[in-house]
Amino acid sequence: MSRLTHIHAPDGVAPATAYTHVVTGTGRLVAVSGQLALDERGELVGAGDAAAQAMRVFENLRRCLAAAGATFDDVIKLTYFVTDTAHMPAVRAARDAYLDPERLPAASAVQVAALVSPEFLMEIEALAVVPDEATAGA
């Protein structure tokens, strides 16, 4: 049995599309700060290209999760900050390359006036729940 439960349509709430309304789980919480489209040298990846930036952001998220002993299978919540909602199809395509579209986490998407620097088109943060020592073998 999975340690995460996905509730797509709570009573009285319209069914979720492209996200899950509620995800519950047991284990250790992992919070990943908002990631930008920066490579390992701190250089921008994909200037003006939402698809390239989204792929790099998800790769950075993957690496951060791995550093905490987590994978995208452990993610319970993603928060997207985009400078233009027109970037969301690129974000979803990158997300679907890294996450199982049948087990999507809860999510929020927010259009912002700007990020820390104008060349960034998006910033994405994640919350994950990984098995702790007590639940790893359960």
**pLDDT, tens digit (0-9, with 9 covering 90-100), for 44-56:** 999 999 999 999 9
Mean pLDDT, the chain, whole residue set: 93
What domains appear along the chain, each with residue ranges and CATH number?
A: 23-130 (3.30.1330.40)
The answer on pLDDT for 1 being more than 50 is no
Distances (CA, A) of 48 to 29, 41, 85, 121: 34, 19, 14, 8
Distance CA 57, CA 94 (A): 9
pLDDT, average across residues 76-104 = 97
Direct distance between the N- and C-terminal alpha carbons of the chain, in angstroms, rounded to an integer? 9
Binning pLDDT at 50, 70 and 90, where does residue 17 land? confident
